[in-house]
Amino acid sequence: MQYTLMTSFTSTHRIVMITMVIFLTLSACAPQTRIVEVEVTAPPQVNVVEITATPEPAAVVPEPTPAPETAIGPLSLADSGQSLGNGRSWDVSLGDLDGDGDLDALVANGAQGEDESTVWFNNGHGVFTVGEQGLGYGMGVSLGDLDRDGDLDAFIASWNEPGKVWLNNGGGTFSDTGQSIGDAGGWDAAFGDLDGDGDLDALLAMDRANTVWLNDGDGIFTDTGQRLGDAYTVSAGLDDVDGDGDLDALTVGWNEPGKVWLNDATGTFTDSGQALTPGRIHIHGMTMGDLDGDDDLDAFMAGAPSQIWFNDGGVQGGTPGTFSESEQQLDSQPGDTVALGDLDGDGDLDIYLAVGASFSAEDKVWLNDGGLQGGTPGTFTDSGLLLSDLFSSGIGLGDLDGDGDLDAFVSYGELGRSNNGELPNEVWLNETR
């Protein structure tokens, strides 16, 4: 075997090439391994030593098989210690309201509490400061660019008065458009382009028939005259459940099964005839997302009991937009609202279930067994975390402290408390690594 040693000296820029020929004679009687150590004494000004070798052919050593990728670690959520407001807070929606690149919170406060609905501004690290503007009273709040000027506006549904549209002035302060959207008795509002004209329309969940409102593109809404159902609806969602390219509607509430309403692409809805959940069950909140990883939208309903409904399209091989109840029973107290997000960083949607039982309850996170867990997508396991024990009525998931994972802003309505439920809202930071 021949080695060539090249030594570079920076002080004189001389290159000295030393050729050392080493002949190794191996015994023919038995194989053995020999180690040859070569010591080279170089002047102190040596900067780079480069050795090139022409080895004898050697056996090929296979590359090690990389270890399988795993989740980033056990889920950990910690109370940030903040106590935000004294209102009876029913809902929260997250978005960058002041244009500084982080997520702020708009909290809808009910009329029985001390504070009006208001904005909480984020400093970028998950620490919130209350805004000075009151935005009336409400039960539900949704954010979206309603007038197409590049910032987030607000729609507040109210139990005590008609819904209101608030347009963002650009820095997180809002102007009332003066519109009265529907009657009093509103619980929730969902945004989406229902008629395909490129702006955000609204579906308003009411204590009676739900209403559909079309946007003219400048944040001015017109009632279509449609009345979807006649029951006590507390939550509504918009998504393309049947895969035909337009937004359909799912509504849930009290004393009537959940309903799926199919859009004809013009914003006109037809009852699909499906009955989701038993008729007398109370559902308090609902959200949609791809829970089983088959590229269609499923539904989670928070209530007594909470339920998962899978879209029969995708891996189920059935008709898209038709739903079947999962056999899973999530061992939890009655849910009041729910949010979906990848809380443990493994690539699938987990469940943050806000429990609404008065006086004694504990919010829970249910982890999806799909993703890096390697289990069945859409099957959920209790994370073991026991979070807030107050009356959680609203939950917003987003990266509040800018570290790349999902945190939680939790609002409290505290139904049934003699003090009108005036409890401060909380921020829970994800500390999973």
Peptide bond into 305 cis (omega under 30): yes
Q: What is the pTM of this model?
A: 0.81
First to last CA, the chain: 49
Rounded CA-CA distance 424/103 in Å is: 19
Phi, psi of 11 (to 5 degrees): -70, -35
- Residue 372: what are its φ and ψ, rounded to 5°? -75, -10
Structure tokens at 362: 């504990």
Least confident of 209-218, 301-310, 413-422: 413-422
Mean pLDDT of the 389-417 span: 87
The phi, psi pair for 140, rounded to 5°, reads -140, 150
Determine what percent of the chain is predicted with pLDDT higher than 90: 57
Distance of CA 294 to the CA centre of its chain: 18
Give the tens place of pLDDT for each residue, 153-162.
999 999 889 9
- Among 416, 412, 350, 357, smallest CA distance to 381 is for 350
Cα(253)–Cα(231) distance, integer angstroms: 7
Q: Kindly report the number of other CB atoms within 10 A of residue 424's CB atom.
A: 14
> What's the chain's average pLDDT?
82
Mean predicted confidence (pLDDT) in 121-126: 98
Give the span between the Cα atoms of 357 and 364, in whole angstroms: 13
Name the least confident of 198-212, 239-253, 303-317.
Answer: 303-317
Residue with tokens 């052919």: 57
Q: What is the pLDDT of residue 357?
A: 60
Tell which residue, 120, 126, 123, 50, has the closest CA to residue 92: 120
Q: 316 pLDDT exceeds 50?
A: yes
267-310 pLDDT, tens digit each: 999 999 999 987 677 888 999 999 999 999 999 999 888 899 99
By the 8 A CB rule, do 20 and 3 touch? yes
Handedness of CA 226, 229, 233, 235 (dihedral sign): negative
pLDDT of 30 strictly over 60: no
Q: What is the dihedral of CA 251, 302, 253, 417, to 10 degrees?
A: -140
Residue 145 structure tokens: 């660019």
Q: Which of the four pLDDT bands, split at 50, 70 and 90, describes residue 164?
A: very high
pLDDT of residue 414: 64
Using CA atoms in the order 194, 188, 83, 144, what is the torsion angle rounded to 10 degrees?
20
**pLDDT of residue 22 exceeding 80:** no
Residue 44 CB neighbour total at 10 angstroms:
6
